[in-house]
Amino acid sequence: MAARTTRRAPGKLLVAGEYAVLEPGRPAVVVAVDRYVTVTVTAAEDAEDADVVIDSDLLGHEVRLRRGGQGLRALPGRDPALARGVPAHIVSVVETIEQLRTERRLGLAPVRLSVRSDLHRGGVKTGLGSSAAVTVAAVRALADHYGMRLSREDVFRLALLATVRIDAGPSGADLAAATWRGWVSYRSPDRQALLTGLRRQGVAHTLGQPWSGFAVRPLPPPTRLALHVGWSGRPASTTALVADLATRREWQGALRLRFLDDSEQCVSAAERALLRDEPAALLDAVRTARGLLDRLDAETSLGIVTADLRRLCEVAESCGAGAKPSGAGGGDCGIALLPAHRSAALLRLRWTAAGITPLPLGVTAGAGADPGPEDRTVPDAAPSPRGHIR
């Protein structure tokens, strides 16, 4: 095992397919952005009676855990109520990988996981998928620390299995972006079936089985459109919005089927536009995706399109961009695809004047690109590099 293994994973933005991608086999286009969660795994032989130690810049205190028959548990005398979010996902990653190693009769060791996030502003989430990024980064870091050789798809599958142990609702689109990076076409598997498989057959069996509905492929980036991101200034809960929608009686009937079919056509149009590098067609698809969210919000009164997000889109459109909320809405971010001949400075200026915060984000390189200097394993003889952990 390596003395220090550091891996990072990027945040994400949804371009098209919100809500529909929650249905197994329904598509979305998602893009990875160059803000990261970084996870460093080290040996923790000096952790006294703790088997796993977690520290994070979002917690303000470390979490010390002991292995047991029912998974990881807080040490006696420590706060047993683990904070939700980053710690819960880290704990689930550790439990999932350790269960896999136990099923394969491989050894375990005391470990420390340190988490640093670039996906928050002053400790407030911005809707860039921090839970997914920490999950993927932790899978890669812990697996590499143990010397496990995983393909890119194995990393994604383990990350999704760790996620469904917490909540089988999320689609996994953000995990796909964090794993494959760049522009990604994604269709979600049946997460309830995965959860059933985990409970009945375990991690190793579920990991190796075909996953109904699942599909992923990298897409080429547009060459004549630039992605810009604005923050509404208000965090939103995707989980709450999705749960609220599921309780709406109208969502169980014709409205839902029409939305799913229209969304699939919209996503397919966006995929074709990216594959053919047709900027006008991609702008049309983005505007259609915004219209679908507007219609869904009007039909359900869910609160998807807030006044801030509507203003964000209208200002971007006035600058010649195609714009929409990104993700479940209710706050967080919106995106604008701006033609290369249009002024990015003007867009940022008008957003700022309208109370929207432009975020200095770029799109990451896609699958197969150099993962960067932070994705490396430091051997035992090397000095401890602290400067690259943000």
In Å, how far are 17, 298, 306 from 244, measured between CA atoms? 18, 15, 16
pLDDT digit string (tens) for 59-77?
777 888 989 888 888 876 5
pLDDT digit string (tens) for 164-218?
999 999 999 999 999 999 999 999 999 999 999 999 999 999 999 999 999 999 9
**Would the pLDDT of 383 be above 60?**
no
pLDDT digit string (tens) for 27-37?
999 999 999 99
Average pLDDT, the chain: 89
Please tell me whether the overall predicted TM-score, pTM, comes out greater than 0.85 for this model: yes
**Would the pLDDT of 369 be above 80?**
no
Q: Which of 214-228, 300-314, 369-383 bottoms out in mean pLDDT, i.e. has the lowest?
A: 369-383
**Would the pLDDT of 370 be above 90?**
no
- Confidence band for 146, pLDDT divided at 50, 70 and 90: very high
Name which residue leads in pLDDT, 93 or 127.
93
pLDDT of residue 36: 95
- Confidence band for 122, pLDDT divided at 50, 70 and 90: low
> Which whole number is the average pLDDT over 3-18?
95
pLDDT digit string (tens) for 200-215?
999 999 999 999 999 9
- Confidence band for 86, pLDDT divided at 50, 70 and 90: low
14: amino acid identity, one letter: L
